[in-house]
Structure 1
Amino acid sequence: MTVDAFLDKGVILGYCFLVDPAAKECRRYVSAEGKQLYATEHVERVFQRKRDEILERQRNGVLSHCRELRTDYSGTLSEEDVSELRSGVDRYENDAWRYLEDYYEGKVGESVTDVDRELRGLARGLEKLAEERREELYERLIDWIRFRDYSGDEYDLHDELSGLKAEDRTDDFRVVLDAHDVGVECDGVTELATNNPTEFADDAYGEQILTHTEIDRIELLFESRSR
C-alpha cells in the first residue's frame, strides 16, 4: 500500500539547507521509494522566510572556520590535521557543521591554501545548493490544498486537540489538520513526517494525534548532535 507522507516544514528545510541535526534523516526519508509526498503552500512561505536567515548563519559558519584554518594550519593537511579540523567543528554553534564535516572526507594531503579557497567557494555557493535541492524535492511533491477546517463538526478536532492549539503552536496545529485531511481524502497509509519531537513524540501530543485523527503514523526524523 502506498504511503501518503505529509512533510512538516522542518523536514523540507532540513532537506534543502542541510539544517542540523535532521538533515541526513530528512534526505533518507524523502528519497525512500514507495512514498507519495505532500506539502502545502505554507511550506513555500516558510522556505522563503527562513532562506536568508539560514544561509547567512551557514555562510558565517564556513567563513569562521576558514579563519581558524588559516590561523592554525599551514602547508598540507595531515591525517591528524583533518581529524582535528572535523572534530573541532562545534555542532551546537556552527550551523554549517554538516557541510564542513562532509567536506573534509578525502582531504588528507591537500594544501591549506586550496582547502581555504574551496571552502570560501562553498560559502558562496550555498544558496545555489539549497535552490537545487528545493527544485529536486518539489518535482516529487503534491501541493495539497485543504478546504475543511474540521471545526464545528460532530467530531471537532479543534476540541479534541485543544491542548496543542492552546500552546500557541499555530503552525504545528495547522500541520496536523493538513496531514489529517490527506488521511481523509487518500487511500494509502498516512504518515506525518516531522523533525519536531517536542510536540509530536508519543509523550507530547503524538499519541493524542494518532487517536483523534486519520494520521496512521508519525515519523520523527532527528539525529543527535553528539559524536
Structure 2
Amino acid sequence: MSDASFLDTGVVLGFCFRDDSHHHRCRQYLDSNDFVLFVSDHVVSEYLNREPSLAEEIADGIFNHIDRLRDSEFEGQLDSMDTSRIRQNLIAGHNVAGTTLHSFYRDEVPNYIQFDDLTRRLRDLARDIEQIAIENREDLMDQVDVWERDEEYSEIDDELAEIPWDDRRICLDAHDVAEVTDYLTELATTNPTDLVDDGYRELILEETSLENVVSLANRS
C-alpha cells in the first residue's frame, strides 16, 4: 500500500478545473486517500503555462452560451421551467464549460430571475474562471511538497527511452521522491497512453523505485 503519491500535471489540472474530463476522479482520489503528496517543479511549471489558456477556453464557452441565450426566444422574467429548458437545450453538445454551466444553473440561479440579470451573472462567472482556478491551485499547493530533483538517473532514463520525454521526466521526478524519502510512492497520472498502456506501467515499475502507477483518466 502506497503512503505517498506523486501527481503529474494532468492530475493537478483535473483537480483545479471542474470542466476537465478527469476532474471527478482526481478529486475523489485526493479526497479519499491519506497520502503524502508531491509534485515537482517541472509539474508546477507545466501547470502554470497551461492554466491561463485553459481558463480562457472555459470563459469563452460561457460567453458562447450567453450568445446562444441572446439568440433564443427567452426574455423578461424566467422561471424554473425556463432555466431547466435552457440547461437542456442550450448547453447541449460539447461546450467546454458544460460542467460549470450546469452547476451554475443548479446551485446559483433562483426560481425566478430576469433575463438581463441571468446574463450579467453569467458574464461575472466567466470573468471569475481564472481566479477560481488560481484559488483551487493555491488550495492544492498548501497540501503538497514541491520536489526538485538533483540526480539525472541517466541509466533509468535510457531504459525508459520509449516513453516521451515530458512523461519520462515525470517518472524520474517521482522515482527520486521514492529514493530520497523512502516513502512507498505511486505516480498518479491522467495520461495512461504513455504511462500505463502497452506495458509502460510494467516497464516503469521494473526500472524505478515506484510502488505503483495509477491512471485517473476518464476513458468514457
TM-score class, shorter: 0.7 to 0.9
Question: C-alpha displacement at 1:86, in angstroms?
Answer: 4.7
Residue from 182, 197, 205 that aligns with 2:200: 205
Q: Alpha-carbon deviations, 1:34-93, whole Å to 9, x = none?
A: 11110111222222211221121111100101111232223314447525525753564x
Question: C-alpha displacement at 1:125, in angstroms?
Answer: 0.8
Q: How many residues align?
A: 216
Question: C-alpha displacement at 1:173, in angstroms?
Answer: 0.6
Q: Alpha-carbon deviations, 1:97-156, whole Å to 9, x = none?
A: 2211221215473323332222111111112111111111111111112111111xxxx2
Q: Which structure 2 residues correspond to residues 180-199 of structure 1 after superposition, within 5 A?
A: 180-199=175-194
What TM-score results when the alignment is normalised by the length of structure 1? 0.84
Hey, what's the Cα distance between the residues in 1 that align with 2:162 and 2:17?
31
Residue from 66, 81, 84 that aligns with 1:82: 84
Hey, what's the Cα distance between the residues in 2 that align with 1:208 and 1:77?
57
Structure 2, gaps ≥5 residues long: none
Answer yes or no: is the 8 Å Cα contact 1:13–1:19 preserved in 2.
no
Residue from 103, 108, 111 that aligns with 1:109: 111
Q: SS at 1:39's partner residue?
A: strand
Give the structure 2 partner of residue 147 of structure 1: 150
- Relative distance call for 1:86 and 1:206 in structure 2 (3 A) is farther
- Relative distance call for 1:222 and 1:77 in structure 2 (3 A) is farther
Structure 1, gaps ≥5 residues long: none
Answer yes or no: is the 8 Å Cα contact 2:13–2:20 preserved in 1.
no
Answer yes or no: is the 8 Å Cα contact 1:9–1:43 preserved in 2.
yes
Q: Once the two structures are aligned, what percentage of the paired residues are identical?
A: 34
Hey, what's the Cα distance between the residues in 2 that align with 1:161 and 1:57?
34
What TM-score results when the alignment is normalised by the length of structure 2? 0.87
